[in-house]
């Protein structure tokens, strides 16, 4: 009951003044728009808006980012489906089946399913978040130290290695390549310069946003360009036939499964939503009677990954608010918004700014609901982007991606990194490596090394120290079991 | 040779030589950290070791079972027709690769060469700027000659060249040229259309990001590009 | 008893804040400067750009925001902040050095620029290669423990406890070798003869979370950054790294009280312009930034960050002196520590 009262309080705070309502809908539309325009993403919008939130009240600033977060994760699915350009890593599995559906002339059906599943997954997740965050916060602050987070990263990588690549070895080589790229820059323990090759701008390290833009947006343009040069380019077919209600109900098992997976994966800091989407998709394939149909335009693929990644949005707020641990780039910027208003997310946030937390919760709940209505209208218009001839769409996407890559840190090296990643991705696409794996390795590499070093410092460089920490030990064992499972699957199982 | 193809050996050779190169380079930062026993280089070297193991493992796998994927991996990256497209266009010959890598190297020459020349001649900032302008002009000319006959290589290299020029010449001066260049390389030849689309797109970008959102895009550092960029921003804001 | 003591110290802070607030508004360092000044030949005819080598949310991002706002309020000239984080400030510095020296681009930087130059003289010296416009924040560090900690309660019992742990006690600190934080920790361990494992955190929030969650035993930080935790009664300082305790932390032992004999190092943040920028424009910028320091909005901001406990203002000459002293001090320390000084 207290939860419900708090929720009402948050709702009233959210909608009691006209500026709040304006910002809410601005965020909903902005998140969807930036998520859905290929080349830029909700992260671009968030990076641009971050300095401006200083002028807003804390409630408005944080509410705006929560709204962009929810709608942006959904918006990124649209470009994944229409152009094979996931707006964020968590939308990557959506493209596995979504893009083939576009090529089969079922773009409308895929996008429609994404709208409904995102709204559903997100709303359910928001409700669980409201109930669960405070108790988890109290427990996790002392239970989750660097050794536990390192163990979590290890587990996450073990799961991710089995997704997206052609073979077991290529899966791991992709992840390891990501971990390798993450090393460039200053080391996380002593600030020592590594692999900078005397280029001062490389000291900033290689950021994952330009890398994602490069591997997905730019590479896709290059591949299409090659096809066009050869004359084998086929413009995607258009359709706006939404999925019927019956079709969705037929997938109810997939939806429920993905909500559960999405929420539990979402709690993991750093990888939450991405892992959620990959695992949601992975499980859909495993449970299926006809796994070979996936990857060729199966509606269930889109449903599974989109439900899972939106179910993770609410869950990702738990480590953010409870531990001050952001789950990804956008939640990291939310930490920035908090700090700009002199608030530190972490267990104290419930003591210091409980009202504000409930504004966030209410905003996320309503943002997820509004995806359903605004998203339905928006999709009908966004889908028309496909009508633009490719030679005009390409410079548009490349310019937007340039702005998007630059806006994150204000460094031109990020633009170069993006285009180089695009060229590398062009060659990797021919070879069975998983670019999503590289990106995941890159995101987790730094957290992994840092928490490993901290864990070692805390445990006085005795590896046996992990045994004394049951949560860390459990996660590491789970990681090895996952690894063992994929080795078994790759080498001993007869297909 | 088992089921190995040349491609598999090249792939393993690339991974292993990358590992060796980076391992040698890791001695540059093989420093002790007072409060951390493993220092700055243990983690990178552990990753390099794992890569070497995986690269050899992959070679062994190909030796045993050739290209056959045969595993239960899902969501394969080759699900699209990128591989076929490459094959059809003969973009997988050694000559094509060498040519393309030459094109891709051009932007990196620009990023390094002028600094070296300026250091060697101990030039101050104005001298460095002159060197940069001349190198840029020469490299653009080389690029234009080199893309004849390697269309796809040209498309891959153009954005990187654009990125390399951004800091010195600015987004405002470079973007219109870049937009036109992409359209040309993508086969558009109707010049009226090109100019109209370029102007429309550029104006939209500026209005949205610069006038509305006050986003500071790179204005360039070298005159007259710098003056053009800052002047444009001044009008727009 | 403990609670009472804590309440007392919070009370002291509040009172002294009020006092220093009055002092700040009554007389500010640059009240003597003219209230307005015309730029030379219509300069500045467009917005200035301020390069900030750190993200918008941290201490530097916030001070840049506050100062830019104050300068704009004072002069009507808008300032676009351009955040270029990375490489412990090295990336923003490199990028600033490449911009034209026309007086339209200014730089925010912290003492890391000085210690960076001390370690590697090929990096720009903020006192010689740049012109400091103003130093607007100078602060000191403290050692914090949790208020609910029962293994030790003050500096003396902390030192005893750490010594009894035989090197297994832990303190959260930043990650950069040779930084102000790490050098100061070395001073402390040398002076007390205690051995303590430092744990590297490069971001603030996890560093504070580690202390709050009991993952580490203590924390090294500046008071402005953990003010929230002090006000909430989660953390308490047990050592102030200054020769003499400031009034707001009168209960906390200073270096002298604790019998530690070393020169404290400061964290300072300031604003710079190219040394080749036209002299008349530099003069105007000096006036604008120094005068803006005394704008009410800026003073309020400084207070909220505990930046008024010791004198935070330095003009150009004062900043140069501060930087030169700092560089010399770090050079000596680095040599003594056996670090390679280039």
Q: Taking phi first (over 0 means left), then psi (-120 to 50 degrees means alpha), and beta for anything else, what does residue B72 get?
A: alpha
Nearest to C85 among A189, A347, A409 (CB): A409
Domain count, chain A: 1
Task: Give the C-alpha separation, A216 to A80, whole Å.
Answer: 9
Retrieve residue A460's tokens: 């006085």
Confidence band (pLDDT; 50, 70, 90) for A16? confident
Taking only the tens place, the pLDDT of each residue in C84-111 is: 988 889 999 999 999 999 999 999 999 9
CB C52 within 8 A of CB C64: yes
C-alpha distances (whole Å) from C112 to each of C125, C176, C315 are: 11, 10, 19
Question: Averaged over A194-217, what is the pLDDT?
Answer: 86
User: In b/e form, how buried is each residue of C112-139, taking b as 16+ CB within 10 angstroms?
Assistant: bbbbbbbbeeebbbbbebbbbbbbbbbb
Q: State whether A173 and B213 contact (CB < 8 Å).
A: no
Q: Look at residue A470 in the predicted model and tell me its pLDDT.
A: 92
> In angstroms, rounded to a whole number, what is the distance separating the alpha carbons of residues A470 and A143?
10
Q: Given CB atoms, is B221 within the 8 Å cutoff of chain C? A: yes
User: Is A172 near chain B, with CB under 8 Å?
Assistant: yes
Judged by CB atoms within 8 Å, which residues 325-384 of A form the interface with B?
A: none
Q: Which pair of structure tokens corresponds to residue A62?
A: 């944080």
Chain segment A92-134, per-residue pLDDT in tens? 888 888 888 888 888 888 888 888 888 888 888 888 888 887 7
Distance CA A255, CA C296 (A): 56
Give the side-chain half-sphere CA count within 13 A for A158.
19
Phi/psi of residue C258, nearest 5 degrees: -85, 0
CATH of the structural domain C13-139+266-337, one choice from 3.40.50.2020, 3.40.50.2000, 3.40.50.300, 3.40.190.150: 3.40.190.150
Question: Is C46 within 8 Å of C76 (Cβ atoms)?
Answer: no
Residues 83-122 of B with CB under 8 A from A: 83, 85-86, 88-89, 91-92, 104, 107, 111
Q: Strand C142-146 and strand C235-240: pairing?
A: antiparallel
The closest alpha carbon to C151, from C133, C170, C138, belongs to: C170
Structure-token pair, residue B124: 């101050």
Task: Give the three-state DSSP class for B76.
Answer: coil
Q: Does A138 score more than 50 pLDDT?
A: yes
Q: Rounding to the nearest 10 degrees, give the CA dihedral for residues C144, C146, C149, C154.
A: 30
Who's near A78: CB < 8 A, 6+ residues apart? A35, A36, A87, A111, A114, A379, A382
Whole-angstrom distance, CA of residue A336 vs CA of residue A68 = 15
The reported pLDDT for the residue numbered A383 is 64
A362 lies in which domain range? 2-491
Mean pLDDT value of segment A444-468: 90
Give the confidence band of B70 by pLDDT, cuts at 50, 70, 90. very low
Spatial CA neighbour of B143 closest among B177, B190, B188? B177
Q: Which one of C87, C168, C212 has the shortest CB-CB distance to A141? A: C212
Residue B155 · residue A222 · CB < 8 Å: yes
- Give the up-direction half-sphere exposure of residue A269: CA atoms within 13 A in the CB hemisphere: 24
Interface test with A, best of B40, B57, B94, B196 (most A CBs within 10 A): B40
- The per-residue pLDDT of chain B, averaged, comes to 86
Give me A400's structure tokens: 């937007």
What is the DSSP code (8-state) at residue A271? T
| Number of alpha carbons in the 13 Å side-chain half-sphere of residue C314 | 21
User: For C314, phi and psi rounded to 5 degrees?
Assistant: -140, 135
Q: Is C166 left (phi over 0), alpha (psi -120 to 50) or beta?
A: left
Residue A52: alpha-carbon gap to chain centroid = 24
Which residue intervals of chain C are DSSP H helices? 2-26, 59-75, 90-97, 112-119, 155-164, 180-192, 204-212, 227-231, 255-258, 279-293, 296-304, 316-337
Order of strands, edge to edge, in the sheet holding C142-146? C197-200, C170-173, C218-221, C142-146, C235-240
Distance between terminal CA atoms of chain A?
Answer: 53
Please give the pLDDT value at position C246.
93
What is the percent of chain A with per-residue pLDDT over 70, rounded to a whole number? 86
Residue entry with tokens 């705006």: A64
Q: Is A255 exposed, middle or buried (0-12, 13-18, 19+ CB in 10 A)?
A: buried
Q: What pLDDT was estimated at residue C9?
A: 44
Considering only residues A244 and C273, tell me which one the structure prediction assigns the higher pLDDT: C273
ipTM, 2 dp: 0.90
Angle at A486 between CA A485 and CA A491, to 5 degrees: 105
| Residue in B40, B166, B182 nearest the CB of A415 | B166
* pLDDT recorded at residue A217: 78
- Nearby residues of A139 by Cβ (< 8 Å), 6 or more positions away: none
Confidence category of residue A31, pLDDT binned at 50, 70, 90? confident
- Round to whole Å and give the CA distance between A114 and A65: 21
Tell which wins on pLDDT, C290 or A231.
C290
Integer Cα distance of A410 and C85 in angstroms: 8
pLDDT-based confidence at residue A182 (cuts at 50, 70, 90): very high
Which among B33, B216, B234 has CB closest to C82? B216
Whether pLDDT at B165 is above 90 = yes
Angle, CA C298 vertex, CA C293 and CA C303 arms, to 5°:
110
Q: What is the token pair recorded at C86?
A: 């990375």
Query: What is the DSSP secondary-structure string of C244-258?
Result: S--GGGTTS--HHHH
Q: Which of B43, B191, B222 to mutate to test the interface with A (most CBs of A within 10 A)?
A: B43
Does the pLDDT value for residue B69 go beyond 50? no
The band of A339, judged by pLDDT with boundaries at 50, 70 and 90, is low
pLDDT at A331 over 70: yes
> Where exactly does CATH 3.40.190.150 map onto chain C?
13-139+266-337
Q: Give CA–CA dist A258/A273, Å, rounded.
A: 12
pLDDT digits (tens, 9 = 90+) for A427-446: 887 777 877 788 778 878 88
CA distance C197 to chain A (A): 7
At residue C6, the pLDDT reads 45
% of chain B exceeding 70 in pLDDT: 88
Instruction: Answer yes or no: is pLDDT of A367 > 90.
Output: no
The pLDDT value recorded for residue B47 is: 96
pLDDT recorded at residue B22: 95
Radius of gyration of chain C (CA): 21
Distance from C-alpha of A147 to C-alpha of A469, rounded to nearest angstrom: 8
The hierarchical CATH code for the domain C143-258 is 3.40.190.10
Stretch among A457-466, B25-34, B88-97, C152-161 having the lowest mean pLDDT: B88-97
Tokens of A359: 């504004």
pLDDT at C257: 94
Dist. CA B83–CA A190, nearest whole Å = 44
Touching subunits for chain A (3+ Cβ pairs under 8 A): B, C
**C-alpha to C-alpha distance for A337 and A324, rounded to whole angstroms:** 12
Report pLDDT for C23.
Answer: 44
Cβ of A324 and C55 within 8 Å?
Answer: no
B138-153 as b/e, with b when 16 or more CB fall inside 10 Å?
Answer: ebeeebeebbeebbbb
Alpha-carbon gap, residue A253 to A255, rounded angstroms: 5
Chain B residue with Cα closest to C196: B35
The minimum CA-CA distance between B164 and chain A, rounded to whole Å, is: 6
A358, A153 Cβ separation under 8 angstroms: no
> Higher confidence at residue C214 or residue B140?
B140
What pLDDT score was predicted for residue A127? 87
Chains contacting B with at least 3 CB pairs below 8 Å? Answer: A, C
Task: Give the residue-averaged pLDDT of A383-410.
Answer: 82
- Closest chain B residue to the Cα of C45, Cα to Cα: B234
Q: Is C177–B34 a contact, with Cβ atoms under 8 angstroms apart?
A: yes
CA distance A319 to A141: 9
What is the least distance, in Å, from the CA of C178 to any CA of chain A? 9
Q: Which residue reads 């903020």 in tokens?
A: C126
Interfacial B residues in 130-189 facing C (CB < 8 Å): 167
Which residues of chain C are modeled with pLDDT < 70? Answer: 1-27
Tokens at residue C336, please? 């003594």
Q: Is B47 helix (H, G, I), strand (E, B) or coil?
A: helix
Cα–Cα distance list, B46 to A176, A449, B41, C201 (Å): 10, 11, 9, 22
- List the one residue out of A179, A218, A147, A145 whose CA is nearest residue A443: A179
Q: Distance from C295 to chain A by nearest Cα, in Å?
A: 18
For residue B214, the chain C residues in CB contact (below 8 A) are: 80
**Average pLDDT over chain A, rounded to an integer:** 81
In percent, how much of chain A has pLDDT > 90? 12
DSSP code at position C108 = E
* Neighbouring C-beta atoms of residue A355, cutoff 10 Å: 13
User: Helices A390-409 & B171-185, crossing angle to 10 degrees?
Assistant: 150
With contact defined as beta carbons under 8 Å apart, do C285 and C103 qualify?
Answer: yes
Q: What average pLDDT does range B206-232 have in this prediction?
A: 88
When pLDDT is cut at 50, 70 and 90, the band that residue B114 belongs to is: very high
Q: How far is CA A151 from CA A175, A262, A451, A473, in A?
A: 16, 19, 9, 7
Query: Which of B116, B221, B122, B106 has the alpha carbon at shortest distance from B164?
Result: B106
Pick from A150, A171, A187 the residue to mutate for testing the B interface (most B CBs within 10 Å).
A187
């Amino acid at each position: 009951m207290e939860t419900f009262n708090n929720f009402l309080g948050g709702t009233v705070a959210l909608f009691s003044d006209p500026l709040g309502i304006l910002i809410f809908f601005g965020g909903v539309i902005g998140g969807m728009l930036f998520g859905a325009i290929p080349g830029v993403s909700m992260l671009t919008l968030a990076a641009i808006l971050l300095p401006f939130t200083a002028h807003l009240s804390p409630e408005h600033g944080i509410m705006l980012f929560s709204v962009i977060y929810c709608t942006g994760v959904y918006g990124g699915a649209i470009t994944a489906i229409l152009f094979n350009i996931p707006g964020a890593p968590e939308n990557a599995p959506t493209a596995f089946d979504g893009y083939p559906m576009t090529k089969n002339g079922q773009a409308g059906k895929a996008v429609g399913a994404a709208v409904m599943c995102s709204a559903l997954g997100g709303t359910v997740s928001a409700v669980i978040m409201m109930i669960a965050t405070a108790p988890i916060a109290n427990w996790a602050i002392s239970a989750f130290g660097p050794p536990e987070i390192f163990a979590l990263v290890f587990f996450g990588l073990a799961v991710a290695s089995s997704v997206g690549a052609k073979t077991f070895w290529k899966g791991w080589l992709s992840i390891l390549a990501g971990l390798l790229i993450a090393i460039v820059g200053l080391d996380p323990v002593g600030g020592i310069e590594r692999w900078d090759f005397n280029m001062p701008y490389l000291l900033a390290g290689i950021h994952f946003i330009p890398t994602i833009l490069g591997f997905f947006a730019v590479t896709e343009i290059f591949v299409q360009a090659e096809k066009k040069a050869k004359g084998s380019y086929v413009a995607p077919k258009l359709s706006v036939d939404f999925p019927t209600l019956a079709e969705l109900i037929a997938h109810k098992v997939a939806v429920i499964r993905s909500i559960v997976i999405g929420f539990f994966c979402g709690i993991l800091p750093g990888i939450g939503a991405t892992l959620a989407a990959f695992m949601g998709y992975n499980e859909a394939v495993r449970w299926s009677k006809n796994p070979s149909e996936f990857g060729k335009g199966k509606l269930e693929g889109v449903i599974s990954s989109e439900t899972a990644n939106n179910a993770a949005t609410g869950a990702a707020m738990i480590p953010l608010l409870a531990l001050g641990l952001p789950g990804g780039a956008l939640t990291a910027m939310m930490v920035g918004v908090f700090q700009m208003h002199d608030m530190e997310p972490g267990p104290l946030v419930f003591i210091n700014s409980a009202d504000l937390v409930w504004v966030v919760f209410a905003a996320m709940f309503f943002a997820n609901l509004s995806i359903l209505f605004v998203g339905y209208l928006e999709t009908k218009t966004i889908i028309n982007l496909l009508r633009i001839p490719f030679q005009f769409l390409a410079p548009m996407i490349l310019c937007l991606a340039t702005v998007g890559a630059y806006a994150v840190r204000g460094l031109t090296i990020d633009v170069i990194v993006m285009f180089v990643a695009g060229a590398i991705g062009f060659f990797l696409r021919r070879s069975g490596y998983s670019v999503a794996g590289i990106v995941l390795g890159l995101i987790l590499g730094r957290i992994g090394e840092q928490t490993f070093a901290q864990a070692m410092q805390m445990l006085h460089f005795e590896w046996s120290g992990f045994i004394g920490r049951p949560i860390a030990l459990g996660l590491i064992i789970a990681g090895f079991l996952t690894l063992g499972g994929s080795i078994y699957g790759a080498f001993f199982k007869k297909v | 040779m088992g089921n190995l193809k040349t491609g598999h050996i090249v792939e393993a050779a690339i991974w292993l030589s990358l590992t060796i190169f980076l391992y040698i380079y890791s001695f540059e930062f093989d420093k002790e950290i007072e409060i951390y026993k493993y220092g700055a280089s243990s983690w990178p070297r552990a990753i390099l070791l794992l890569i070497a193991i995986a690269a050899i493992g992959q070679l062994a796998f190909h030796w045993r079972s050739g290209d056959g994927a045969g595993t239960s991996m899902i969501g394969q990256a080759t699900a699209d027709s990128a591989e076929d497209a490459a094959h059809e266009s003969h973009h997988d010959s050694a000559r094509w690769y060498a040519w393309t890598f030459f094109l891709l190297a051009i932007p990196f020459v620009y990023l390094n060469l002028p600094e070296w020349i300026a250091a060697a001649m101990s030039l101050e900032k104005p001298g460095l700027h002159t060197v940069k302008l001349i190198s840029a002009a020469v490299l653009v000319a080389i690029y234009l000659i080199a893309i004849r006959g390697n269309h796809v290589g040209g498309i891959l290299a153009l954005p990187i060249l654009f990125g390399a020029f951004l800091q010195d010449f600015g987004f405002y001066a470079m973007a219109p040229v870049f937009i036109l260049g992409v359209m040309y390389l993508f086969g558009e030849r109707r010049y009226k259309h090109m100019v109209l689309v370029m102007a429309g797109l550029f104006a939209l970008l500026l209005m949205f990001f610069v006038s509305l959102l006050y986003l500071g895009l790179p204005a360039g550092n070298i005159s007259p590009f710098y003056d053009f960029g800052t002047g444009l921003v001044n009008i727009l804001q | 008893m403990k609670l009472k003591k804590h309440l007392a110290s919070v009370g002291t802070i509040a009172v002294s804040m009020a006092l220093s607030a009055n002092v700040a508004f009554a007389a500010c360092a640059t009240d003597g400067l003219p209230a307005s000044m015309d730029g030379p030949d219509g300069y500045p005819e467009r917005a200035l750009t301020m390069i900030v080598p750190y993200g918008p949310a941290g201490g530097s991002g916030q001070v840049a925001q506050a100062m830019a706002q104050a300068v704009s309020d004072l002069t009507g000239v808008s300032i676009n902040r351009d955040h270029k984080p990375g490489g412990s400030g090295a990336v923003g510095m490199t990028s600033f050095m490449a911009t034209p020296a026309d007086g339209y681009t200014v730089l925010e930087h912290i003492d890391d620029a000085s210690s960076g130059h001390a370690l590697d003289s090929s990096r720009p010296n903020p006192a010689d290669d740049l012109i400091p416009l103003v130093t607007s924040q100078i602060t000191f560090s403290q050692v914090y423990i949790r208020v609910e900690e029962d293994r030790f309660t003050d500096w003396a019992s902390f030192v005893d406890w750490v010594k009894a742990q035989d090197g297994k006690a832990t303190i959260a600190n930043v990650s950069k070798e040779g930084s102000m934080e790490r050098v100061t920790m070395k001073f402390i361990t040398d002076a007390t003869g205690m051995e303590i494992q430092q744990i590297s955190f490069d971001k603030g929030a996890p560093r504070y979370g580690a202390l709050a969650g009991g993952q580490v035993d203590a924390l090294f930080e500046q008071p402005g950054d953990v003010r929230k935790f002090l006000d909430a009664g989660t953390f308490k300082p047990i050592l102030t790294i200054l020769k003499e305790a400031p009034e707001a932390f009168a209960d906390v032992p200073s270096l002298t009280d604790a019998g530690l004999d070393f020169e404290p190092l400061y964290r300072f943040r300031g604003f710079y312009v190219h040394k080749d920028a036209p002299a008349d424009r530099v003069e105007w910028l000096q006036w604008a930034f120094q005068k803006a320091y005394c704008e009410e909005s800026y003073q309020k901001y400084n207070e909220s960050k505990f930046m008024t406990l010791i004198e935070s203002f330095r003009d150009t000459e004062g900043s140069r002196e501060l930087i030169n002293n700092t560089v010399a001090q770090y050079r000596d320390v680095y040599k003594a520590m056996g670090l390679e000084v280039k």
